[in-house]
Structure 1
Amino acid sequence: MDHAGNAPVGARTHAGGTTHVSKSYVTFDLSTLRSSELSHAVLSTAETAVTDCAHPRATEVWLTEPAGKPTWNDQPAELAKMGGPYLDSRCPSPGLTWTVTAGIRDAVAAGRPTASFAFRLPEDQQSDLRFGREYSPKMKLTLSYNKFPGEATDLTVNQKPCAAEPRIVGSSVELGATVKDADDSYIGAEYALWPVDHPDQRVTFSQSGSMVGDKVWADVNRFLAGDVTYAWQLRGKDYSGGLGPWSAICRFTTDFTSPTTAPAVSSPDYADVYPGTGGTGVPGTFVFDAGGDTDVVGFYYTDPTERTMHAAADRPGGKAVVRYAPGIAGPTSLRVRGVDAAGNSSPSVYYRFWVLRNQPEVSCTPDSAFVGEPRQCKFTPQGDTPVTGYVYRLNQEAETTVPAGPDGTATVTVYPDNPDIMYWIHVRAKLSTGYLTSLSETGLDIDPGDPIVETRTERPILGQPIDFTLRAVLPGTETFTYRWAESEWTTVPAGADGTAAVRVTAPTSGWNMLWVHSTTAQGQRSGIQDLNVDVASNKPQVFSAEYPEYQPSGGVGIPGTFTFTSPFPGVTAYTYSFDSAAPVTVPADVDGKASFTFTPARPGWTHLTVTSTLPDGGTSESETHAISVKSLAPQATCDDQGYVKPGQVVRCTLTPVQENLAAYGWAVADGPENTVPPGPDGTAAIEFTVPADQLSGRYLVLRLWSVNEAGLRTEVYDRNFYVP
């Protein structure tokens, strides 16, 4: 095909009337598919010219033998027809596709580095001018494929590289390797494992999820027996199940038998004798002896910090000599165990010894001082090993190294300037051996200089100013900074006598907190002093002899007098309301009191809420007085047995509640009102007939009340009778 022009198919007429029949060829490089599994391939291009859109498109794509420079008389063999083109109503179409998956797979299977395709028309259309078409030479092959993992490398047994001689291992065996995959970051592996003497016992298993980056590993303990040499290899397995090539073979030999004898431990430098020898950071010689147990090729020893170290024996069953510098003074120990070539351990033995205390002594001058004052701290060596310097830090600050003087001491100046924390100086001596001693920790006695706070207002009341005196403790105090309740921090100057007067007003009654610290001219802050102040409420007090709070009393129509007083001097008025009624304001007298009379209109709970008007026009907190108004209506005992019927005569005995009773009143539903005087015992008997037209399923109401000798009528009590 002409790469400089379009790709023609079918018949077309050239200048001079000559008819030419064309096929076009395209070749694609398949090198990207090496070690890959193809899942889908699509060939696409655009139509650039169509002789007659009235005739349907039928362009075919065929896989061919490799196409070099094909001619009509030397065409490459057409091997297989591909699927397509897929329907597209546009003409010319800007995008046509053919599925060429089978063709690409065939080319790869045949070992070809390229795949060639022919564009042509069917035999019955190839010479028909009406079907001729041209295609863009910019043809595109889209591949969906999975790259197989590469060959595994860097094989390890228990994190140690494979070697020509099989590595001897114990009962816990982990196999590892590096597996790379160009298009998959989630790599697993398939492992093969077999006894070298029995290749017929080869087992394979997959392991996924045990990977970090391109490192994979597997635990094979479940497959192993003791005293057997195994061979193994692996191949990568990607997320799609694609497998890479098998790796090289690695071998290891199992040994599940542990040494039986604990090693002997001795030291010419450290013994189990108080108060000890050497010191922290002073190395001593320790000898581990396997006692001739030839299984033992080395030793593990662990110090009190759980740091475990290894020492090789000079020969199987022999000794190891180590130098170890203790890190802890006083009684301590090393835990020692022998180990064989497979890593199996013998029983452990504890070697106990005493370490002489040689941490430096620390003394600071002055012994006690205010925060921010410099302290000179002297470091003095302990023990026999010469000291060349000291490494120290204050709390969690960075460490500083200072040299020791000729006498082995050093003096440093520290500046503890935070009043809110405790200060510790941590020091280690640097020995002439190059080691450091363990830490010496000394606390600094620091006075944070919290100011003194005095309250000058006794029993403060909400709304009244509260006065405080602030007294400096920290030398050189120039200002005080305080915060009252939830307000912002405020700074005031200190007087010549180191005091300041502060006046505040509490936002609420109850406990209010005052926080205070002082500051010097150099900016050194003291600690914070706090004082919790109990501020009394300024709400009014309410008193009523007739209606005391929370006690059933009085009754409907019985007046009660309510008196208001205030703990706050000079109130001018009181504003009160009952439940949701409109508020009423009454003036206070010269004593700050006010009274009013209230007559309840209904029984039950009523809530009186009252506030006072303060001298500055403000309003006090509110007080609520809960009143329980007794019911005075009479009670009735009737012979209805829980229900009544139309026409039934009902008899009731009325019992008084109201004092000085003069008469009972009663009515049935909305019927006429009746009165009856009380008998000598204060009761009265009444009877009524249930109306004949009383509806069933409803209640008949008997209304009851009473009147006393003063003419005061009680509220109505409703006695209900069910009519079934």
Structure 2
Amino acid sequence: MSFGARSRTVLASLGTLGLVLAASVSPASAADAAPVTPTQLFNGDQSCSTDSDRPTYLWAGNGLTVEGIPETTDTTSTSLVNVRYQVWPVTDPTHTTTVTRAYALPGFEATANLPADALPDGQTYAWRAQTVAGDTASDWSAPCYVAIDDTPPANTPGVSSSNYPQGVRDQGGSPVEFTLNANGDDDVTGFEYAWQQDLPIAGSATIGDHGVPRFVDPYDDPRHFTRADAPGGSATISLLPPSGSSGPTTLWVRSLDRAYNGSAITGYSFLLDSTAPTVTPAVASPAFDRPTRFTFRPDAGLQSTSSVVGYSVETIGGQGGDKTIDVPAGPDGTASVTLTLDGIYGESLRVSSTSANGWVTDAAFWGISYDTTPTVASDVYPENGSGGGAGVPGSFTFTPKVKGVASYTYSVNGDPEVTVAAGAHHTASVDWTPAAADDYDLTVHATTCSGISLAPYDYYFTVN
């Protein structure tokens, strides 16, 4: 795997730009302007090293991308030029390989690929660039030095933890202290790790103005990378597990060499007890659409390790969709909040706590179910029974199961809906006369004074 390679999309885009320009602009000639030695030299998206004792270590299994910005003495010219790249082993300067990038636009990076067969693994190479305009060539650039390393570390890293032993169940709340070691591989210079087995790619780059790459040093991101204290050495890191971790938890780790080649991945697994908070409503069964006070209390072990400073409270199933609010905790780690539960089939809470050291617990769940359908009764047309007849009127009475009902909306066998206001005790009665003997479905739902359309109820009956 090549860890320092530019994305294929960017390369394709730059290549397409070159082809478009080539079709519309003719190459420069010596009469137009004199070529200038390329600047902004990069290899594998990393800056050129002009120190032969400190080459840039790179993977070149698919060849090596080199680039530089060509110029001419006429800075206003848009005539295209060629860029010539030459590479040779430091131990044998006579053994050169030359690659030309045609139709390059002055002022922009011109990329070329030095072939892999010219860059055997384990050797140091020098390369240089020159601008060619017509029959005229600039001076060569100063050499850039690269050491080719296509071989990943042979051993997986060693991983241990001083406070969360492997395979042992432990109280959560403290950052996990890990020690990573090269496991006897002197080629290792750093480590990569993540709580997911799909580790990020090391050594990527973004593309700036004029196509200049901006190499992203992976070791600038301590969430996933750390340097070894020496080649073949070790490193100590402190990590918080992912938010909501409990039960089996695994850190995935691999070693990296100077070219960002990665070893095979190894995992370090340990067990975390749940540190979820407790959720207690002020009443055992909060009423529908009525304010209720909830109290959140921290796990005792967690609180003694690092005080809880707040709670994330997600309400699920209520009006307007799921919502999340943050509730600050008091000095003792407890917190309270008033919530109105208005899910017509019920509502639940998902509550996690956050400690002062950043530890985020797994979630505590609390929920309640509501039956907000109305009760329907008829003396002439009983539910799931038969009665009356064609032309025989019947009365249907709607009674609420929750408080605050303002009206009822009903339909028979899909006919246009009819809405009637609720009367005394929030009930309503309607008269209905069937035109023919048949099976019927009366669908009815209530609406509250606050405008909530409650769950519908289907009342089936047969007209004789």
Q: TM-score range by the shorter chain?
A: 0.5 to 0.7
Of stretches 456-465 and 163-172 in structure 1, the one that deviates more from structure 2 is 456-465
Measure the CA separation in 2 of the matches of 1:507 and 1:311. 81
- Look up the equivalent residue of 1:202 and give its one-letter code: T
- Look up the equivalent residue of 2:447 and give its one-letter code: T
Contact persistence 1:151–1:246 (CA under 8 A): yes
1:27-66 equivalences under 5 Å are none
> 1:502 maps to what in 2?
430
Query: CA-to-partner distance for each residue in 1:644-682, whole Å, 9 max, x for gaps?
Result: xxxxxxxxxxxxxxxxxxxxxxxxxxxxxxxxxxxxxxx
> 1:160 maps to what in 2?
46
Measure the CA separation in 2 of the matches of 1:180 and 1:534. 89
> 1:311 maps to what in 2?
226
The DSSP-based 3-state class of the residue aligned with 1:335 is: strand
Contact persistence 2:279–2:366 (CA under 8 A): no
Contact persistence 1:300–1:336 (CA under 8 A): yes
**C-alpha deviation, 1:220, in angstroms:** 6.0
Q: TM-score scaled by structure 1?
A: 0.45
**C-alpha deviation, 1:188, in angstroms:** 13
The DSSP-based 3-state class of the residue aligned with 1:368 is: coil
> 1:492 maps to what in 2?
420
Q: Give the unaligned 5+ runs of structure 1.
A: 1-35, 41-104, 113-148, 209-213, 238-243, 536-566, 568-724
Query: CA-to-partner distance for each residue in 1:212-249, whole Å, 9 max, x for gaps?
Result: xx777677674442123345567999xxxxxx999956
Change (3 A) 1:449 1:269: same
Change (3 A) 1:190 1:274: same
Structure with greater helix percent = 2
Query: CA-to-partner distance for each residue in 1:543-577, whole Å, 9 max, x for gaps?
Result: xxxxxxxxxxxxxxxxxxxxxxxx8xxxxxxxxxx
Contact persistence 1:285–1:323 (CA under 8 A): yes
Contact persistence 2:85–2:128 (CA under 8 A): yes
Change (3 A) 1:159 1:508: farther
Out of 424, 441, 451, the position equivalent to 2:374 is 451
Contact persistence 1:193–1:230 (CA under 8 A): no
**C-alpha deviation, 1:374, in angstroms:** 2.2
Contact persistence 2:160–2:166 (CA under 8 A): no
Query: CA-to-partner distance for each residue in 1:462-499, whole Å, 9 max, x for gaps?
Result: 88766533221112323112344444443212232443
2:349 matches 1:408: no
The DSSP-based 3-state class of the residue aligned with 2:286 is: strand
The DSSP-based 3-state class of the residue aligned with 1:346 is: coil
> 1:169 maps to what in 2?
58
Change (3 A) 1:266 1:514: same
Query: CA-to-partner distance for each residue in 1:373-423, whole Å, 9 max, x for gaps?
Result: 223222111123222222333246554333322322111122222325x53
> 2:444 maps to what in 1?
516
1:662-677 equivalences under 5 Å are none
Change (3 A) 1:296 1:487: same
Query: CA-to-partner distance for each residue in 1:557-600, whole Å, 9 max, x for gaps?
Result: xxxxxxxxxx8xxxxxxxxxxxxxxxxxxxxxxxxxxxxxxxxx
Contact persistence 1:485–1:506 (CA under 8 A): no
**C-alpha deviation, 1:510, in angstroms:** 7.1
Measure the CA separation in 1 of the matches of 2:147 and 2:187. 15
Contact persistence 1:193–1:204 (CA under 8 A): yes
Q: Name the structure, 1 or 2, with higher relative contact order (CA <8 Å, separation 6+).
A: 2
**C-alpha deviation, 1:304, in angstroms:** 3.7
1:468-617 equivalences under 5 Å are 468-504=396-432, 513-531=441-459
Measure the CA separation in 1 of the matches of 2:128 and 2:416. 73
Out of 374, 395, 405, the position equivalent to 2:291 is 374
2:278 matches 1:361: yes
Measure the CA separation in 2 of the matches of 1:205 and 1:251. 19
- Look up the equivalent residue of 1:170 and give its one-letter code: W
Measure the CA separation in 1 of the matches of 2:430 and 2:109. 71
RMSD: 4.7
> 1:293 maps to what in 2?
185
Of stretches 226-235 and 335-344 in structure 1, the one that deviates more from structure 2 is 226-235
**C-alpha deviation, 1:288, in angstroms:** 1.0
**C-alpha deviation, 1:351, in angstroms:** 1.8
Measure the CA separation in 2 of the matches of 1:387 and 1:509. 67
Measure the CA separation in 2 of the matches of 1:339 and 1:367. 56
Change (3 A) 1:467 1:437: same
Change (3 A) 1:409 1:227: same
The DSSP-based 3-state class of the residue aligned with 1:297 is: strand
Out of 234, 256, 263, the position equivalent to 2:150 is 256
- Look up the equivalent residue of 1:227 and give its one-letter code: G
Measure the CA separation in 2 of the matches of 1:512 and 1:188. 84
Contact persistence 1:428–1:436 (CA under 8 A): no
Contact persistence 1:336–1:348 (CA under 8 A): yes
Out of 309, 332, 338, the position equivalent to 1:388 is 309
Q: Give the unaligned 5+ runs of structure 2.
A: 1-20, 201-223
**C-alpha deviation, 1:445, in angstroms:** 0.3
Query: CA-to-partner distance for each residue in 1:358-379, whole Å, 9 max, x for gaps?
Result: 2222233433334312232221
**C-alpha deviation, 1:325, in angstroms:** 1.1
> 1:336 maps to what in 2?
253
The DSSP-based 3-state class of the residue aligned with 2:296 is: strand
> 1:436 maps to what in 2?
359
**C-alpha deviation, 1:266, in angstroms:** 1.7
Measure the CA separation in 2 of the matches of 1:150 and 1:424. 70
Q: TM-score scaled by structure 2?
A: 0.67
Measure the CA separation in 2 of the matches of 1:356 and 1:509. 64
Measure the CA separation in 1 of the matches of 2:115 and 2:462. 73
Contact persistence 1:363–1:378 (CA under 8 A): yes
- Look up the equivalent residue of 1:289 and give its one-letter code: N
> 1:426 maps to what in 2?
350
Change (3 A) 1:522 1:345: closer
Change (3 A) 1:264 1:358: same
**C-alpha deviation, 1:286, in angstroms:** 0.8
**C-alpha deviation, 1:453, in angstroms:** 2.8
The DSSP-based 3-state class of the residue aligned with 1:369 is: coil
Change (3 A) 1:277 1:517: same
1:685-696 equivalences under 5 Å are none
Measure the CA separation in 2 of the matches of 1:306 and 1:234. 38
> 2:88 maps to what in 1?
195
- Look up the equivalent residue of 1:388 and give its one-letter code: V
- Look up the equivalent residue of 1:499 and give its one-letter code: T
Contact persistence 2:394–2:431 (CA under 8 A): yes
Measure the CA separation in 1 of the matches of 2:423 and 2:323. 40
2:170 matches 1:276: yes
Change (3 A) 1:515 1:236: farther
Contact persistence 1:483–1:516 (CA under 8 A): yes
Identity of aligned residues (%): 27
The DSSP-based 3-state class of the residue aligned with 2:170 is: coil
Contact persistence 1:269–1:278 (CA under 8 A): no
Contact persistence 2:277–2:364 (CA under 8 A): no
- Look up the equivalent residue of 1:297 and give its one-letter code: T
The structure with more radius of gyration: 1
2:147 matches 1:226: no
Measure the CA separation in 2 of the matches of 1:306 and 1:361. 34
- Look up the equivalent residue of 1:418 and give its one-letter code: G
Contact persistence 1:228–1:254 (CA under 8 A): yes
Measure the CA separation in 2 of the matches of 1:504 and 1:221. 87
